[in-house]
């Protein structure tokens, strides 16, 4: 294999393939630092891109975690609100039932012929008149 062919394959664009070996080696030494610098820049760019991708993935993960937590909190909040509404509805129903029971008890107690009805009925007719007469005699006149 001819040496110029191997040299031309390592150089990106040789101007004259028939140059001598010392000249070509000197030229390749001048290009190597540039190539190294370019490679370093490319690798730095790749590193920066990888870091950005990792940061974006971390941010996406954090956003998803926050969204999941918010969903869990909102579900819990909805559940608690529903429980509170059910509790309030249950309490209201209990109060209504108690009122109905009390009304029924009162209607039964005040029914004609019951003990309470007879007792209150007899007191109603006689006690207030006696009280009115007694207090009217002892109370001072109202200005």
Decide if 88 is inside a domain.
yes
| Residue 20 placed within a domain | yes
Domain hosting 62: range is 3-101
Contact 45, 62 (CB under 8 A): no
Over residues 57-80, the mean pLDDT reads 86
Has residue 51 been placed in a domain? Answer: yes
Q: What is the pLDDT of residue 46?
A: 92
3 state SS of 46: helix
The closest alpha carbon to 28, from 19, 131, 115, belongs to: 19
114 Cβ contact list (under 8 Å, min separation 6): 108
Name 3's Cβ contacts closer than 8 Å, sequence gap at least 6: 21
Total number of domains in the chain = 1
| pLDDT number for residue 31 | 59
pTM of the predicted protein model: 0.32
Would you tell me how many other CB atoms lie within 10 Å of the CB of residue 27? 15
For 70-123, the pLDDT digits (tens) are: 888 788 888 888 888 888 888 999 999 999 988 888 777 767 776 665 555 555
């Amino acid at each position: 294999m001819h040496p110029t062919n191997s040299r031309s394959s390592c150089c990106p664009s040789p101007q004259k393939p028939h140059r001598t070996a010392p000249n070509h080696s000197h030229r390749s030494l001048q290009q190597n630092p540039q190539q190294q610098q370019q490679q370093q820049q490319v690798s730095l760019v790749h590193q920066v891109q990888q870091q950005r991708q990792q940061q974006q993935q971390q941010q996406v993960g954090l956003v998803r975690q926050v969204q999941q937590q918010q969903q869990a909190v909102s579900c819990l909040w909805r559940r608690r609100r529903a429980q509170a509404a059910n509790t309030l509805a249950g309490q209201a129903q209990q109060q209504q039932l108690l009122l109905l029971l009390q009304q029924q008890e009162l209607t039964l107690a005040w029914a004609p012929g019951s003990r309470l009805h007879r007792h209150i009925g007899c007191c109603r007719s006689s006690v207030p008149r006696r009280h009115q007469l007694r207090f009217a005699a002892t109370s001072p006149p109202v200005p």
